[in-house]
Amino acid sequence: MTASVVALGMVQGVAPAQAATCASGYICLFDGTNFTGRKLSYRDCARVDIGKVWGNDRIRSIMNNQSSGTLSHFYSWHAAAANWTYVGYSRAKANHATVSAGVASAEAVDVC
């Protein structure tokens, strides 16, 4: 399934040119569009600071293979306010070949 909305903005609903993989129960984040480039995979329910793992502003596509309907929420860190700001979500089972500008700027994800 390809989603047409990822976050607070619209995304292009495009099927991937080649099949990428994401294990059942995981959300997979890619630094390239169409599920290319480096991949991070998460299953456990927790907030993950992507910036510490991968660098900031790197998400370009998402494969959400968690239990159907499960939401993962994305956040950006605002140093001046010293807090996380919500920028969007991904609902399982959805693939997002490209993401909105908000999610692309995410520095953390709450898995489940």
Question: What does the pLDDT read at residue 13?
Answer: 35
Question: What does the pLDDT read at residue 64?
Answer: 96
**Omega cis (within 30) before 52:** no
Residue 46 lies in a domain: yes
- Whether the pTM exceeds 0.85: the reply is no
Number of domains in the chain: 1
Rounded CA separation 10/32 (Å): 18
Residue 3 lies in a domain: no
Q: Domain containing 89: what range?
A: 27-111
Residue 1 lies in a domain: no
Question: What does the pLDDT read at residue 18?
Answer: 52
Residue 48 lies in a domain: yes
Residue 91 belongs to domain with CATH number = 2.60.20.10
Sorting pLDDT into bands at 50, 70 and 90, what band is 48?
very high
Residue 16 lies in a domain: no
Sorting pLDDT into bands at 50, 70 and 90, what band is 78?
confident
95 bridge partner residues: 2, 63
Residue 13 lies in a domain: no
